[in-house]
């Protein structure tokens, strides 16, 4: 008699495990992106390092959930998803940064653009390239 495996991929718990592991992967990716964007924001003198990292993590958690939903909807056209997620990420992060530093809207827009550009160049585009090319 075979014993049941607790993490059976075809069992009734498979959708829940997929959601749990997907959420954990989202947290790990958001932490990596938050580090890149937090360091970028602190180098641009937006706020001190600790505040920049905290705001960057909050921004990326919220925009990561939104772009994760977009990834599910646009998974067959990754280039469209990449450009739309960049724009959606910019919009969400500008509003969140403006909540934390209200008096500098234009500066927040510019810093969000530079921070997202840095994270896309350093993390997302290489991951996309190595994930699509054998």
Does 74 map to a domain?
Answer: yes
For residue 77, what is the enclosing H or E element?
none
Does 12 map to a domain?
Answer: no
What is the structure's pLDDT at 91? Answer: 95
Distance CA 56, CA 38 (A): 5
Does 22 map to a domain?
Answer: no
Distance CA 6, CA 127 (A): 31
What is the structure's pLDDT at 113? Answer: 95
Distance CA 46, CA 52 (A): 7
Number of domains in the chain: 1
Distance CA 23, CA 9 (A): 17
Residues of the chain with pLDDT under 70: 1-11, 134
Does 126 map to a domain?
Answer: yes
Does 9 map to a domain?
Answer: no
What is the structure's pLDDT at 105? Answer: 92
Does 83 map to a domain?
Answer: yes
Does 102 map to a domain?
Answer: yes
Residue 83: domain span: 29-132
What is the structure's pLDDT at 4? Answer: 60
Does 21 map to a domain?
Answer: no
């Amino acid at each position: 008699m075979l014993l049941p495996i607790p993490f059976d991929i075809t069992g009734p718990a498979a959708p829940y495990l997929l959601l749990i592991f997907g959420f954990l992967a989202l947290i790990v990716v958001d932490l990596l992106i938050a580090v890149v964007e937090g360091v970028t924001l602190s180098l641009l003198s937006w706020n001190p390092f600790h505040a920049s990292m905290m705001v960057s993590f909050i921004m990326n958690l919220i925009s990561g959930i939104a772009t994760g939903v977009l990834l599910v909807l646009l998974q067959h056209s990754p280039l469209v998803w990449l450009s739309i997620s960049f724009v959606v990420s910019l919009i969400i992060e500008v509003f969140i940064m403006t909540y934390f530093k209200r008096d500098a809207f234009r500066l927040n827009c510019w810093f969000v653009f530079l921070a997202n550009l840095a994270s896309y160049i350093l993390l997302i585009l290489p991951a996309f390239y190595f994930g699509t090319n054998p």
